[in-house]
Structure 1
């Protein structure tokens, strides 16, 4: 098992570095063109992979957002928060209308009952 582990680790590192190299945008590649980095990683699995991961790519720099799109968490998105508030306001308005209608119905029932209970006076 110990004889198999180092080659498997090198293979995993090689595959990871190769995929990372292929998927990295050209703007984030440092020191050499991206095509040269791909060739170096392919030809020198261990050293090329280590070099790519160590110096081939800008690290810690966020990728620029796509044109016209800036990802925002829902709890930070004013449009989303406004839509939630509008939904809640609409629900509250509906509840209030239902309560008012129920109150009017009950008041009418009480008036009707009072009229029935009262003797008619001439």
Structure 2
């Protein structure tokens, strides 16, 4: 049973990676076109899956920037007494 473990792990990892690749929007895939990633994952289960997770999969979504903030995120109010809209309605 132990000798089948690498093959089972490769199959599970490849299936999970292919499903993740197919469900990822086309414009978010990095490096190669999505169909090429699917073939790479299927042809090389361990290396292709690792490449997808490290080089092809999209990273975190970039935060939207506001004009004139110098690239910093807008500061959210921490509580109701810091929220100008809440204080305006009192």
With the shorter chain as reference, the TM-score category is 0.5 to 0.7
SS at match of 1:3: helix
- Indicate whether 1:12 and 2:12 are aligned: yes
SS of 1:4's equivalent in the other structure is helix
Cα offsets for 1:40-86 (capped at 9, x unmatched): 11222221111011111112228xxxxxxxxxxxxxxxxxxxxxxxx
Cα distance between partner residues in 2 of 1:17 and 1:32? 15
Matched, 1:43 2:37: no
Of the two, which has the highest radius of gyration? 1
- Name the one with the larger helix percent: 1
Any runs of at least 4 consecutive aligned residues in structure 1 with deviations exceeding 4 A, and if so which? none
SS at match of 1:30: coil
Q: Give the whole-Å Cα distance in 1 for the aligned partners of 2:5 and 2:44.
A: 19
CA–CA distance in structure 1, aligned partners of residues 61 and 51 of structure 2: 19
Matches within 5 A, 1:1-122: 1-61=1-61
Structure-1-length-normalised TM-score: 0.47
Deviations 1:10-29 (A, max 9, x none): 11000000111111101110
Q: Could you list the runs of 5+ residues in structure 1 that have no partner in the other structure? A: 63-122
If asked which structure has higher relative contact order (CA below 8 Å, sep 6+), I would say 2
**Structure 2 spans left out of the alignment, 5+ residues:** 63-90
Figure out how many residues of one structure are paired with residues of the other and give that number: 62
Aligned Cα RMSD in Å?
1.5
